[in-house]
Amino acid sequence: MESQYNSDVVVFERWAQMRSSAAMHMQVHLVGVPREGGKPADSQKWLEQVTTMADDHELKVHKMGRYSRDEIEGIAKTTSESGTPPYIYMQLPGPNKVRLLLTPTRTSSVPMNFGREAVVKCMGLPTERLEWRSCQQSTEEETELARKLKISFETAKRH
């Protein structure tokens, strides 16, 4: 699909326990990153920017290899005494597919818009794009985009 749209993809997931011990809040986002002149995104530039932002928010950065889900859960559990830490998972765009797990320190928390902020900064987008409400589309536009995305997935699965 990346070549079909001449784009790379950044993936980010945010998970946090809610005030109610039984509730959890998870967000998963996939954002297309247009390839400038047909060249893939610069993974190193993205990594440097995200690392700087993580430092600013007092988040620990765990660079990950290609782990199984069980291994990822194990890494997440080792980052918190409770075994259920809030986290941000990111797969950065570009040919290297750098994967990161960001966890809070004892004195920090997981920022609600960290992933959006990283995308806005790395892509040089206007800061109003940080607020998801300013990016909403009509129901008709969303339905049409969902239809096109479904077709893209079906096409990609055949190849």
Quick: pLDDT tens for 84-117.
Answer: 578 889 999 988 889 998 988 877 788 888 999 9
Higher pLDDT, 69 or 141: 141
Asked whether the predicted pLDDT for residue 149 surpasses 60, the reply is yes
User: What is the sign of the dihedral through the CA atoms of 73, 104, 124 and 120?
Assistant: positive
Cβ contacts of 38 within 8 Å, gap of 6 or more: 6
Q: What is the mean pLDDT of residues 14-37?
A: 77
Q: What is the mean pLDDT of residues 135-152?
A: 88
Confidence grade of residue 61 (pLDDT, cut at 50, 70, 90): very high
Asked whether the predicted pLDDT for residue 50 surpasses 80, the reply is yes
Cβ contacts of 117 within 8 Å, gap of 6 or more: 53, 111, 130
Structure confidence at residue 24 (pLDDT): 66
pTM (two decimals): 0.77
CA distance linking residue 144 with residue 131, whole number of Å: 23
Which strands form 59-64's sheet, in the order they lie side by side? 24-34, 7-17, 87-91, 99-104, 59-64
